[in-house]
Structure 1
Amino acid sequence: MAQFSAVLATAVVALAFMAQSAKADLKLCNKTESRVGVALGYKDKDGWASEGWWNIGANGCETLLKGPLIARYYYIFAVDYDKGGSWGGKSMMCTRDKIFTIRGIGNCTDRGYNKTGFFEVDTKEETDWTISLSGEKTSTNGGAQPQ
């Protein structure tokens, strides 16, 4: 019986360690031959925010947010530094040309920022998600606000 208790205690410790070491992040993988710049938009307990820029090399990956995801929807805008063009969508958020963290998505130009169309990523309420950028770029025309 003592041997069984020791095995059980070891198994419980191993399971607890595995749960702590499990990865739960928002990652973006650049599946192109170009360097890209990535901006991220999201809603947290303090409201809407946008952040940028992560620079990701050709065929590289980067963690945008560490830890379990707290929202179902995240928003991405990316720029192809080498070949030109961008990946975007209809969800308008604020950006700027230099590194930024911007709170709020309204009145971007009045506040001195660029108004930029992001595409929506539905993580299906998973705690870990990887976004992949491929060669086909999208238009940034539109004007819908994220909900």
Structure 2
Amino acid sequence: MYAIQGSSRRIGIFLRWLVAPVILALSAMLGTSVAVHAELSVCNQTYDVVNLAVGYQRGADFQTSGWWTIGVNQCANVIREDLPSRYVFVYAEDVFGQSLFQGGRSLCIGTKRFQTSAIDQCWQRGLMGVDFTEIDTQQSPRWTLFLRQGGIEGSAD
């Protein structure tokens, strides 16, 4: 009787040592997949730290927000939900406040962290008007932008 109890105890300990790493690995994989679920990621492949603002249409309103500071060869998750519209607008500047890319859509930004639905009369609202670059996400729910020295490229995830 003692031999059977000892054997079952050893089997129980063995199973715990075998099953615990599998459970930890599965929970780590599930946790990682949730954390990676960003819908607009921006990767900085320039030679400078970049400060980024983003704008997009949400229903009848237009929204701009910033700032994300993205180091060299780093990425930031900028919009954490399905992209609300086909076009996203980005504005990137270096640490000296110089615009990095030519843009065609004037939108408002703040000098510190901001979120606004103002798209005109920026100065009257205490904001600045700058030219954002239009990005066509091709109606993909997830998109990654790559900021490079020569321009901006993107791809669906």
Query: SS of 1:127's equivalent?
Result: coil
Q: Which has the higher helix share?
A: 2
The answer to whether structure 1 residue 55 and structure 2 residue 47 are counterparts is no
> C-alpha separation between the residues in 1 aligned to 2:76 and 2:127?
25
Asked whether the 8 Å contact 2:38–2:78 carries over to 1, the reply is no
The answer to whether structure 1 residue 78 and structure 2 residue 92 are counterparts is yes
Question: How far did 1:30 drift?
Answer: 0.3
Equivalence for 2:116: 102
Scaled by the length of structure 2, what TM-score is found?
0.68
Query: SS of 2:124's equivalent?
Result: helix
Match of 1:32 among 28, 34, 46: 46
The answer to whether structure 1 residue 44 and structure 2 residue 58 are counterparts is yes
Deviations 1:76-123 (CA, angstroms, capped at 9, x unpaired): 000122795422401010011111001120111121210110000000
Count of aligned residue pairs for this structure pair: 120
Long gaps (5+) in structure 2: 1-29, 153-157
Query: Which residue identity is paired with 1:87?
Result: F
Alpha-carbon RMSD: 2.4
Detail structure 1 runs of 4+ shifted over 6 Å in the superposition: none
Residues 127, 137 of structure 1: alpha-carbon distance in 2 compared, 3 angstrom cutoff: closer
> C-alpha separation between the residues in 1 aligned to 2:98 and 2:108?
20
The answer to whether structure 1 residue 69 and structure 2 residue 83 are counterparts is yes
Query: Which residue identity is paired with 1:113?
Result: L
Equivalence for 1:93: 107
Point out which structure has higher relative CO (alpha carbons under 8 A, 6+ apart).
1
Scaled by the length of structure 1, what TM-score is found?
0.73
Asked whether the 8 Å contact 2:56–2:63 carries over to 1, the reply is yes
Equivalence for 1:118: 132
